[in-house]
Amino acid sequence: METDKPLLAIRNLSYFYGDIQALFRVNLTVCEGQIVSVVGPNGSGKTTLMKAVAGLLRPVLGEIRYQGERIQDLPVHKVVRRGLVYVPEGMKTFPLMSVMENLEVGAYISRQQKEGRLDFVFNLFPVLADKRLQLAKNLSGGQKRMLILARGIMSGARLLMLDDPFLGLAPKDINRLCNTLRQIRSHGYTLFLAGQHVRRILSVATRAYLLEEGRITLSGSGDQLRDHPHLQESLYGIVAEAG
Ligand code: ATP
């Protein structure tokens, strides 16, 4: 299922907010079928990286290729049309619309294979099928997060970019979401995750990167990064003892 075919290839990506440089020649590859996680301290540039890929920050320096095509100059709607869907931190449902209407909104960008995708998301989240006629505002926090993810899938995503997907969730919902992410991957989707819940984000990763002050400073498997002394030091201030 996992391949070594790059779906997303980021090369020497730099981004400036005015005079402030937030990304410094970032190199990162997401292959088809992988779950790639980016972790890093607050303000290290995780959100900036995702927004740059999603088309929300322009212009960027360097190159972003998706399925071999250069996309770094494309506006956001053209990026989405190619199957690259960004779910920002804290994204909300439409509270006064039903679950079904929320999913319809997601599908409006891509009507092809809509029914198949609807079957898939209802299979993935049976509770959304049960509550399809209820208003989104009446869902629990965990169910709202499921609906956001389901809406992303409905918009024809092939690569889902999730910024801080575990933010604000109860531990049992975090566990459930970790399993769901693995399940989504097993159905041929590729996932690109960033966030603060470092252990969780790394536990689901097939490949991971540490971003510090806008620079990639470590890469490897999720387990390799989790146990790496530099990551411990960078994120938790734990310095490995010599000898
Ligand atoms: P967090 O984990 O706290 O969400 P992050 O790793 O996602 O942080 P970014 O939000 O991408 O980091 O921020 C990277 C750097 O860019 C920070 O120094 C931040 O202050 C700066 N920055 C972010 N947005 C802007 C902006 N709109 N204007 C100026 N500087 C910004």
State which of 14, 21, 47, 166 you would mutate to test the pocket of ligand 1, scoring each by most atoms of that ligand within 8 A of its C-beta.
Answer: 47
Helix segments in the chain, DSSP class H: 46-54, 76-81, 99-107, 114-124, 126-130, 141-154, 171-186, 198-203, 222-227, 229-236
Residues sharing a CB contact under 8 Å with residue 179, sequence separation 6 or more, in sequence order: none
Is 222's C-beta closer than 6 angstroms to any atom of ligand 1?
no
- 1-83+158-168+179-243 homologous superfamily: P-loop containing nucleotide triphosphate hydrolases (3.40.50.300)
Beta carbon of 163 within 6 Å of any ligand 1 atom: no
Give the position, in ligand 1's atom list, of the atom nearest the Cα of 214. 14
Q: Is 44 in the pocket of ligand 1 (CB under 6 A)?
A: yes
Question: For 167-198, what is each residue's pLDDT tens digit?
Answer: 988 898 899 899 999 999 999 999 999 988 89
Confidence of residue 242 (pLDDT cuts 50, 70, 90): very low
The answer to whether the CB of 83 is under 6 A from ligand 1 is no
Strand partners, 211: 216
The number of helix segments (H) and strand segments (E) in the chain equals 10, 10
22 C-alpha to ligand 1 centroid (Å)? 7
Task: Read off φ and ψ for residue 130, nearest 5 degrees.
Answer: -60, -35
C-alpha of residue 49 to centroid of ligand 1, in Å: 10
Report the 3 state secondary structure along 14-33.
EEEECCEEEEEEEEEEEECC
Report whether residue 90 contacts ligand 1, using a CB cutoff of 6 Å.
Answer: no
Ligand 1 midpoint to CA 214 (Å): 9
SS3 52: helix
pLDDT-derived band at 243, boundaries 50, 70, 90: very low
> Looking at the chain, which residues constitute the CATH 3.40.50.300 domain(s)?
1-83+158-168+179-243
Of 44, 49, 164, 215, the one to substitute when testing ligand 1's pocket (max ligand atoms within 8 A of C-beta) is 44
Top-confidence range, 7-16, 164-173, 193-202: 7-16
Q: Where are the alpha helices (DSSP H) in 187-228?
A: 198-203, 222-227
pLDDT of residue 191: 97
Q: What is the pLDDT of residue 111?
A: 66
With CA atoms as reference, report the closest residue to 121 among 154, 79, 98, 89.
Answer: 154
pLDDT, greater one: 54 or 105: 54
Coil vs helix vs strand at 103:
helix
213 conformational bin, left if phi > 0, alpha if psi -120 to 50, beta if neither: left
As a whole number, the mean pLDDT across the chain is: 92
Please tell me the pTM assigned to this model.
Answer: 0.92
Q: Is the CB of 143 under 6 A from ligand 1?
A: no
CA dihedral defined by 111, 64, 37, 116, rounded to 10 degrees?
A: 10
Residue 35 has pLDDT above 60, yes or no: yes
Q: Per DSSP, what are the bridge partners of residue 31?
A: 6
- Ligand 1 atom closest to the Cα of residue 44 is 6
Secondary-structure breakdown of the chain: helix, strand, coil percentages, each rounded to the nearest 5: 40, 25, 35
pLDDT the model gives residue 27: 98
Tokens of 103: 């999913």
Query: Which residue in 152, 70, 144 sits closest to 107, CA to CA?
Result: 152
> Is the CB of 51 within 6 Å of ligand 1?
no
